[in-house]
């Protein structure tokens, strides 16, 4: 590696083929934004799109817009735009509801598929990781408690334990592809194959993967997937999530939130539910259209590049960040919590520090925005569409200065959102 200097980082930006895409985002002056893994930056196009939806489609065209502006079709149209980013086919993805709600639907449908098959009906265990994002665990707890049919959650503590835990009692494996805390990346194809050999189904949460790392759902033969659009996909705060059900599972996919948008003929107003044949059966009810429309502006930026180009830059950014923190902050008690191996790393990097929360607050005070996660973790997201190599340099210099000067308040009160 050449000597790491700010000049070297500037030259990396000059050679970077993705650099022009940064112009398509609205980023405040003087801010280094390393939290696009939690809330993606605003595509400039979102502002004019919002104006169009609110003023023309809502204000002027009123209810006609369900047809004339394509509102009713929007969940599936956006799903088809998103599909190539996750290795899905047309007609397999809808953008709707939240990740938590979509987890509920996929969990319920998966358990029902297993229960309906005499060969797997006795399986009662759902396997996930203790380190999974809490809502994934909570939704599974809520569903199984409510079903009251003897299902239980098995929380594993390591990848090795995961392998042996998946067995003939396993109904479903539910994993998050890139861990929200450590940034560790699972081998989707290998774990999916292992789960299938054991007769289990598998549900992947792509919250920190979609738009961050290449995902090949169909090639891996995964069963179900869900994920966020407000993180790496830049859909806007609280923008709707996605759910993927491959074609071969769609006919058997029945979830209990059987609202009218999932009906075969929603405007026939029939007194009983009949699921529509395709992926739209994963829908429930009317969507917040202003928010949903914003998702397209984020996806339009992805349409101008490839996940391979994004991955190459993401690894270069995270490699650089790790190397700089470890060389320039070497005298401080920082411990890398993210795998060094490329094959095991997503697009964010976490360091453990005894005063992690206070240090993150001090960084934010200087316009360098990362976030804090329990326990004691500073998390930095790298979003190749708009993060520059020089940002990495400047962020590490800010961190080094804060640590050298002890310019942070260890006893600072916590905000509601950390
Ligand atoms: C961010 C995230 C969620 C968020 O779920 P919401 O329903 O959008 O609040 C879920 N799962 C994982 C793994 C996440 O990282």
- Binding site as annotated, residues: 99-100, 133-136, 176, 205, 208, 230, 260, 286
User: Cα(100) to centroid of ligand 1, in Å?
Assistant: 6
Q: Which domains does the chain have, with CATH numbers?
A: 6-43+306-405 (3.90.1150.10), 70-303 (3.40.640.10)
Task: Give dist(CA 294, CA 312) in Å, integer.
Answer: 27
Mind listing the pLDDT tens digit for each residue in 27-37? 999 999 999 99
Residue 199 has a pLDDT of: 98
Atom of ligand 1 nearest to the CA of 238: 8
Neighbours of 220 (CB within 10 A): 19
Asked if residue 100 has its Cβ within 6 Å of ligand 1, the reply is: yes
Asked if residue 131 has its Cβ within 6 Å of ligand 1, the reply is: no
Residue 417 has a pLDDT of: 85
Q: Would residue 273 show up in a list of annotated catalytic residues for this protein?
A: no
pTM (2 d.p.): 0.98
**Which residues of the chain, if any, have pLDDT below 70?**
1-2
What is the four-CA torsion angle of 84, 89, 91, 94, rounded to 10 degrees? -40
Nearest CA to ligand 1 atom 14: 207
Residue 2 has a pLDDT of: 57
Q: DSSP letter for 412, please.
A: P
Residue 143 has a pLDDT of: 98
User: Of the candidates 285, 293, 178, 290, which has an alpha carbon nearest to the alpha carbon of residue 231?
Assistant: 178
Cα torsion 252, 253, 256, 257: sign: negative
Residue 160 has a pLDDT of: 86
Nearest CA to ligand 1 atom 13: 133
Question: How many percent of the chain have pLDDT more than 90?
Answer: 96
Asked if residue 210 has its Cβ within 6 Å of ligand 1, the reply is: no
What are the strands, taking DSSP E only, across 195-338? Answer: 201-205, 224-227, 242-244, 335-336
Asked if residue 228 has its Cβ within 6 Å of ligand 1, the reply is: yes
For 87, left (φ over 0), alpha (ψ -120 to 50), or beta?
Answer: left
Instruction: Please confirm whether the linkage preceding 178 is cis (ω < 30° from 0).
Output: no
Q: To test ligand 1's pocket by mutation, which of 207, 208, 229, 417 has the most ligand atoms within 8 angstroms of CB?
A: 207
Mind listing the pLDDT tens digit for each residue in 232-254? 999 999 999 999 999 999 999 99
User: Cα(17) to centroid of ligand 1, in Å?
Assistant: 31
User: Cα(112) to centroid of ligand 1, in Å?
Assistant: 23
User: Cα(172) to centroid of ligand 1, in Å?
Assistant: 19
Q: Would residue 61 show up in a list of annotated catalytic residues for this protein?
A: no
Atom of ligand 1 nearest to the CA of 133: 13
What is the four-CA torsion angle of 317, 322, 325, 331, rounded to 10 degrees? -170
Q: For strand 93-95 and strand 242-244, is the pairing parallel, antiparallel, or unpaired?
A: antiparallel
User: Cα(138) to centroid of ligand 1, in Å?
Assistant: 11
């Amino acid at each position: 590696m050449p000597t790491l200097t700010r000049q070297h980082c500037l030259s990396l930006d000059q050679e970077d083929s993705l650099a022009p895409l940064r112009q398509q985002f609205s980023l405040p002056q003087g801010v280094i934004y390393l939290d696009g893994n939690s809330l993606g930056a605003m595509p400039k196009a979102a502002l004019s799109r919002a104006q169009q939806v609110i003023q023309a489609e809502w204000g002027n065209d009123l209810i006609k817009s369900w047809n004339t502006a394509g509102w009713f079709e929007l969940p599936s149209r956006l799903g088809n735009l998103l599909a190539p980013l996750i290795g899905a086919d047309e007609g397999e993805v809808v953008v709707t509801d939240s990740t938590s709600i979509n987890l509920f639907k996929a969990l319920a449908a998966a358990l029902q598929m297993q229960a309906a098959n005499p060969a797997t009906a006795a399986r009662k265990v759902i396997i996930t990781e203790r380190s999974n994002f809490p809502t994934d665990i909570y939704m599974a707890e809520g569903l199984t408690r409510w079903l009251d049919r003897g299902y239980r959650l098995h929380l594993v503590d390591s990848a090795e334990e995961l392998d042996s835990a998946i067995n003939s009692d396993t109904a479903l494996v539910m994993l998050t592809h890139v861990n929200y805390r450590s940034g560790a990346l699972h081998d989707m194809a290998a774990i999916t194959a292992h789960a299938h050999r054991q007769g289990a189904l598998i549900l992947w949460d792509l919250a920190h993967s979609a738009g961050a790392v290449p995902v090949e759902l169909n090639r891996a033969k995964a069963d179900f997937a869900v994920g966020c659009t407000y993180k790496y996909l830049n859909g806007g705060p609280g923008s709707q999530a996605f759910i993927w059900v491959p074609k071969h599972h769609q006919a058997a996919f029945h979830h209990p939130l059987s609202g009218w948008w999932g009906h075969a003929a929603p405007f026939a107003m029939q007194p009983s539910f009949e699921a529509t044949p395709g992926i739209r059966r994963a829908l429930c009810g009317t969507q917040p259209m202003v928010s949903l429309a914003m998702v397209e502006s984020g996806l339009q930026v992805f349409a101008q590049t490839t996940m391979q180009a994004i991955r190459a830059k993401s690894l270069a950014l995270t490699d650089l960040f790790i190397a700089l923190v470890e060389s320039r902050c070497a005298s401080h008690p920082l411990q890398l919590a993210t795998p060094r191996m490329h094959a095991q790393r997503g697009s964010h990097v976490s360091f453990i520090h005894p005063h992690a929360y206070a240090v993150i607050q001090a960084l934010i005070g200087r316009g360098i925005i990362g976030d804090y996660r329990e326990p004691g973790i500073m998390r930095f997201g790298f979003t190749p569409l708009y993060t520059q190599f020089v940002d990495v340099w400047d962020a590490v210099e800010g961190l080094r200065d804060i640590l050298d000067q002890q310019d942070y308040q260890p006893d600072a009160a916590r905000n509601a959102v950390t």
